[in-house]
Amino acid sequence: MSTTRTIERTYPSVRTTEGGGFIVHRPFPTRMLMDFDPFLLLDEMGPVDYAPGEAKGAPDHPHRGFETVTYCLEGQFGHKDSAGHSGTLMAGDVQWMTAGAGVVHSEMPDPEFTRTGGRVHGLQVWVNLPRRDKMIAPRYQEMPAAQIPIATSADGAVRVKVIAGEALGVSAAIETRTPILYQHFTLQPGASIAHPVPAGYRVFAYGLSGTGFYGAGKREIGAQQMIVFGNDGDTVTLSAGDEVLDVLLLGGVPLKEPVVRYGPFVMNTEDEIRQAVTDYQAGKMGLIAH
Ligand code: FE
């Protein structure tokens, strides 16, 4: 007999600006809210409509000790890095970047998009790396929309993009360093799913659009709220009301290791942070050729 997890807490996202001034909705971290182990941050970028010449991004900056996962929902996100990669994420594409020992990258709109302007909407999640993986070589997994597995329920009312983990019998193509779920559910009006989640995972949901109804009691929770499920069941229940529901499901096994953050570096000790700053300043994380 399966049981569905209760809702432990919900948190609204906070509207803030990041990088060169782009608008994000950030449910965590906040001063009050750090513990989403193994996740470090969730930013919903936009949705925002840029006038010609107004598009913003994040110029050259380093990362060490974790992974950044960028998912483009609308518009585009350009990127360039110190290892010589560059490209543009279009709607539906995902970039899973394992910064490991360090990269320097920029996340800027392409010049042509800046010229024309347009709508931008996306997600960035920071996934922490365990101590044993913090200094591994950087790795990129570029996943165009067409290569991301999609699962659909028998009646067609629930569709899920399986970016990480497994849903409706379909496994993700992306490899993660620790067990992670990253899934974009779309539920048609009136649809509901009790989605199995592995024991030992913390599971979170973030509504992207539409009002959702969560848990056994179908508690009504609007978009841009973070939902933290308890550890007390083997499924999570997501339900749509009378409109389409788009929701991001995140899950992972907590690392339970010390977390020391300093800007773009996330390590286990203060000494490792000092080393990261020294290495970055010495150019050991590379430079972007402009
Ligand atoms: Fe970055």
pLDDT digits (tens, 9 = 90+) for 2-22: 899 999 999 888 888 887 778
Query: What's the pTM value of the predicted model, to 2 decimals?
Result: 0.95
How many Å lie between the centroid of ligand 1 and the Cα of residue 68?
Answer: 7
pLDDT confidence of residue 31? 66
How many Å lie between the centroid of ligand 1 and the Cα of residue 112?
Answer: 21
How many Å lie between the centroid of ligand 1 and the Cα of residue 61?
Answer: 6
**Could you tell me if residue 169 is left (phi over 0), alpha (psi between -120 and 50 degrees) or otherwise beta?**
left
Contact predicate 50/70, CB 8 Å: no
How many Å lie between the centroid of ligand 1 and the Cα of residue 133?
Answer: 19
pLDDT digits (tens, 9 = 90+) for 237-252: 999 999 999 999 999 9
Surface-to-core class of residue 110, CB atoms within 10 Å of its CB (0-12 exposed, 13-18 middle, 19+ buried): middle
How many Å lie between the centroid of ligand 1 and the Cα of residue 275?
Answer: 19
pLDDT confidence of residue 34? 65
Which residue has 């042509």 as its token pair? 112
- Mark the ranges of the chain whose per-residue pLDDT is less than 70: 31-34, 290
How many Å lie between the centroid of ligand 1 and the Cα of residue 105?
Answer: 6
> According to DSSP H, which parts of the chain are helical?
111-116, 270-281
pLDDT digits (tens, 9 = 90+) for 194-206: 999 999 999 999 9
**What class, spelled out in words, does domain 7-252 have in CATH?**
mainly beta
With a CB cutoff of 8 Å and minimum separation 6, the contacts of 289 are: 84
How many Å lie between the centroid of ligand 1 and the Cα of residue 169?
Answer: 33
